[in-house]
């Protein structure tokens, strides 16, 4: 059982996490949800399309202008409070690596801290434990926040992913984070080249076998773009193919930009796997 906020998710229930960037320079939407009203409209649409989690981020992952902790909090804390007020049952996640920001968003109503930079601030897990909220434990290859990988190597990238993420998850539980609210994430593109991310996808079942629920953040990422030689706005098909493979291998949570399309892929895979009945079954029966 995966338990986040007020929600519980069964072992074969795929969970969609919709991305809402409160940044003016996001690689994908270029600031489309930086202002409050477009961002709230995005939340409403994502929930209507089937997202159970809203992931709010105040700093883009890649290099760019410095964003202080105070500015990150300004972009996210009040928005978290408003989403909590308007959507009391939705799971609110905040994408941050900073403990002080985590503290502020938890006080505002966040249910999950999405630590995409692999525990670079060990205090973030302590915040999650203190507030009894969930935590995403990600492999970032030791990279510092907002840096790009350069000639990074691994003897075995998946072995490193397992060692780091399981270690972070066990530490979180030891600190007091509820075990049923901890997820692990292979960290596609983070501290990895394209071949590393492809191998992490191909061997995702090894992460699933640890027993920790696996979150994948695949949406329109560079490894998809490089694999198919496509710019950001032409990566949806590659993303959905990678999503289908990840679902077949047992991933539980999918962090995405395109909610409706992802939901169709996940429902189709679940039906093929025998975990979901077809929505309609008339063929050959009339």
Q: What mean pLDDT do residues 45-74 have?
A: 96
pLDDT at 184 over 80: yes
Would you say residue 285 lies in a domain? Answer: no
Q: Which residue has the tokens 């999405």?
A: 114
In the chain, the largest separation of any two C-alpha atoms, in whole Å, equals: 63
Q: pLDDT band at residue 28, thresholds of 50, 70 and 90?
A: confident
Among 124, 3, 116, 122, smallest CA distance to 61 is for 116
* CATH number of the structural domain spanning residue 118: 3.20.20.20
pLDDT at 286 over 80: no
How much is the pTM?
0.96
Q: Which domain holds residue 162?
A: 2-273
The tally of domains found in the chain comes to 1
What's residue 55's pLDDT? 98
Would you say residue 245 lies in a domain? Answer: yes
Would you say residue 11 lies in a domain? Answer: yes
pLDDT at 26 over 90: no
Residue 233 designated active-site? no
Tokens of 4: 């986040």
The H-or-E segment that residue 17 falls in is strand 15-21
Tokens of 149: 């990988």
CA-CA distance, 14 to 251, in Å (whole number)?
8
Q: What mean pLDDT do residues 15-35 have?
A: 90
pLDDT digits (tens, 9 = 90+) for 212-243: 999 999 999 999 999 999 999 999 999 999 99
pLDDT at 106 over 80: yes
DSSP result, 143-201: PPTT----S---S-HHHHHHHHHHHHHHHHHHHT--GGGEEEE--TTTT--HHHHHHHH
Alpha-helical runs (H) found in the chain: 36-49, 69-86, 99-108, 123-131, 157-175, 194-202, 204-208, 222-228, 236-249, 259-273
CA atoms within 13 A on the CB side of 41: 7
Q: What mean pLDDT do residues 179-206 have?
A: 98
Q: What mean pLDDT do residues 108-127 have?
A: 98
Would you say residue 284 lies in a domain? Answer: no
The secondary structure of residue 100, as a DSSP letter, is H
Would you say residue 80 lies in a domain? Answer: yes
Task: Catalytic residue, from 42, 203, 221, 235: name it.
Answer: 221
Would you say residue 280 lies in a domain? Answer: no
Task: Catalytic residue, from 255, 263, 276, 282: name it.
Answer: 255
Would you say residue 279 lies in a domain? Answer: no
What's residue 181's pLDDT? 98
Residue 192 designated active-site? no
Q: pLDDT band at residue 205, thresholds of 50, 70 and 90?
A: very high
CA-CA distance, 51 to 18, in Å (whole number)?
6
pLDDT at 30 over 80: no
Would you say residue 207 lies in a domain? Answer: yes
Q: What is the overall mean pLDDT for the chain? A: 97
Q: pLDDT band at residue 144, thresholds of 50, 70 and 90?
A: very high
Q: What mean pLDDT do residues 9-35 have?
A: 91
CA-CA distance, 114 to 57, in Å (whole number)?
9
């Amino acid at each position: 059982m995966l338990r986040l906020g007020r929600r519980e998710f069964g072992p074969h229930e795929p969970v969609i996490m919709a991305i809402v960037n409160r940044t003016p320079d996001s690689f994908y939407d270029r600031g489309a949800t930086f202002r409050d009203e477009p961002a709230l409209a995005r939340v409403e649409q994502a929930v209507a399309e089937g997202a159970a989690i809203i992931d709010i981020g105040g700093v883009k992952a890649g290099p760019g202008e410095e964003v202080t902790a105070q500015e990150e909090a300004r972009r996210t804390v009040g928005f978290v409070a408003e989403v909590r007020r308007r959507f009391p049952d939705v799971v609110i996640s905040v994408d941050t690596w900073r403990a002080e920001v985590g503290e502020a968003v938890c006080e505002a109503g966040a249910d999950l801290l999405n630590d995409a930079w692999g525990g670079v601030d060990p205090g973030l897990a302590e915040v999650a434990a203190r507030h009894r909220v969930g935590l995403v434990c990600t492999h970032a290859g030791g990279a510092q926040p907002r840096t790009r990988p350069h000639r990074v190597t691994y003897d075995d990238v998946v072995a490193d992913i397992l060692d780091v993420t399981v270690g972070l998850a066990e530490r979180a539980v030891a600190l007091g984070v509820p075990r049923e609210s901890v997820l692990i994430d292979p960290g596609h593109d983070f501290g990895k080249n394209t071949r590393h991310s492809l191998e992490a996808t191909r061997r995702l079942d090894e992460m699933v076998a640890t027993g920790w629920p696996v979150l994948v953040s695949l949406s329109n990422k560079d490894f998809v773009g490089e694999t198919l030689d496509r710019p950001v706005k032409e990566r949806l098909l590659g993303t959905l193919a990678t999503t289908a493979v990840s679902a077949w291998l047992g991933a539980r949570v999918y962090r995405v930009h395109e909610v409706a399309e992802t939901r169709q892929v996940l429902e189709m895979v679940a039906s093929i796997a025998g975990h979901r009945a077809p929505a309609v079954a008339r063929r050959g029966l009339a």
